[in-house]
Amino acid sequence: MEIIENRKDLLTILNTWKDLNLTTAFVPTMGYLHEGHLSLVKKGNEQADKSIVSIFVNPTQFGPNEDFSQYPRDLNRDITLLNEANCDLIFAPDVDEIYDGSQIPHWSVPDSLSLRLCGRSRPGHFDGVVEVVTRLFTLIPADFAIFGEKDYQQLCIIKTMTNALKLKPKILSGPIIRNPEGLALSSRNKYLNDLEKNTALCLFQSIQEAKKMAAIDPTMNAQSILEYLKGTLFNNPLIKLDYLEIIDERNLSLLENLNPFARLMIAVYIGQTRLIDNANLFE
């Protein structure tokens, strides 16, 4: 496994692989890796000859009052995990290596995708995501890039952006990996104490409850499901609900009645920690 910190060395390796006609799969991450990230690396290894993982905590996608400086980092641990996962190349640049003043194609996130859900409570977040992913795709024009459904809105935005800018990678996605109790794995789970971790199970429980209701009435009014969940599982002083919505997963628009593309989208604060989760209600 190669560990690279700068563009020049990255280009040398990518060119060697290109000369050998090897295909590549790229998994962008912010590090502090867990089984969710590693499932995407596994998918990359299945899809392509070589897998590449970037580890970069991108400052431009954090708001001024968010956790950029506290975001957990442990490169040595990440290296061990990626070695075990048969990753071929780690790209772990510093901020100046990514934001070096070079020109990249520009694309503005349409309001219909950026001003809703996470975009509403994190203004500018998706502009930062789009910029860093465009920079990374320019440096690493892989055949495939793999993102988790955990960040479902991000996945939709990146698919749309990659199409609009005609960037190289084919975007693939992987399902949400959870702990045995159902909590979606996240680097931010490190912030939770035991009580908060237990409280955080409301996310998965709400998905299960919503699925049960959807199974009984597949065209049910979305609002009645949301009202039920708000009055029961989220009616807890330790939980601050950021959003709870049922959307059409094809375009993120709000759904009045369920259809086969209905996806429950959830964001909560538990203590200081913001957690998100989502699921299609019929899968």
Catalytically active residues, by annotation? 37
Considering the complex, state which of residue 174 and residue 234 has its C-beta at the smaller distance from ligand AMP.
174
Nearer to ligand AMP, 40 or 89 (CB): 40
Q: Is 185 one of the binding residues for ligand AMP (CB under 6 A)?
A: yes
How many whole angstroms separate alpha carbon 45 and alpha carbon 43? Answer: 5
User: Which stretch in 74-82, 169-177, 194-202, 235-243 sits in contact with ligand AMP by CB under 6 A?
Assistant: 169-177
Q: Give, as ranges, the residues between 186 and 245 that touch ligand AMP (CB under 6 A).
A: 186-187
Give the tokens for residue 68. Answer: 């950029």
What's the per-residue H, E or C state across 148-210? EHHHHHHHHHHHHHHHHCCCCCEEEEECCCECCCCCECCHHHHHCCHHHHHHCHHHHHHHHHH
The DSSP output letter for 251 is T
User: Minimum Å distance from CB 28 to ligand AMP?
Assistant: 6
Task: Compute the distance between CA of residue 243 and CA of residue 117 in angstroms, rounded to an integer.
Answer: 7
Query: Which is closer to ligand AMP, CB of 201 or CB of 213?
Result: 201
Instruction: Match 């503005």 to its residue by tokens.
Output: 108
- Report if residue 171 touches ligand AMP, rule: CB under 6 A: no
Window 21 to 40, contacts with ligand AMP (CB under 6 A): 29-30, 36-37, 39-40
* CA 128 from centroid of its chain's CA atoms: 13
Around Cβ 132, how many Cβ atoms within 10 Å?
Answer: 21
Considering only 44, 93, 169, 174, the residue that binds ligand AMP (CB under 6 A) is 174
CB-based contact 29:93 (threshold 8 Å): no
* Residues in region 139-168 near ligand AMP by CB under 6 A: 147-148, 150-151
Decide: is 44 part of the binding site for ligand AMP (CB under 6 A): no
> Of 229, 237, 238, which is closest to residue 266 (Cα–Cα)?
229
**Do residues 22 and 50 make contact, with C-beta atoms less than 8 angstroms apart?**
yes
Which region, judged by CB under 6 A, interacts with ligand AMP, from 64-72, 102-110, 162-170, 183-191?
A: 183-191
Minimum CB separation of residue 57 from ligand AMP in Å reads 8
Nearest distance, CB of residue 82 and ligand AMP, angstroms: 13
> Would you tell me which residues interact with ligand AMP (CB under 6 A)?
29-30, 36-37, 39-40, 147-148, 150-151, 174, 176-177, 184-187
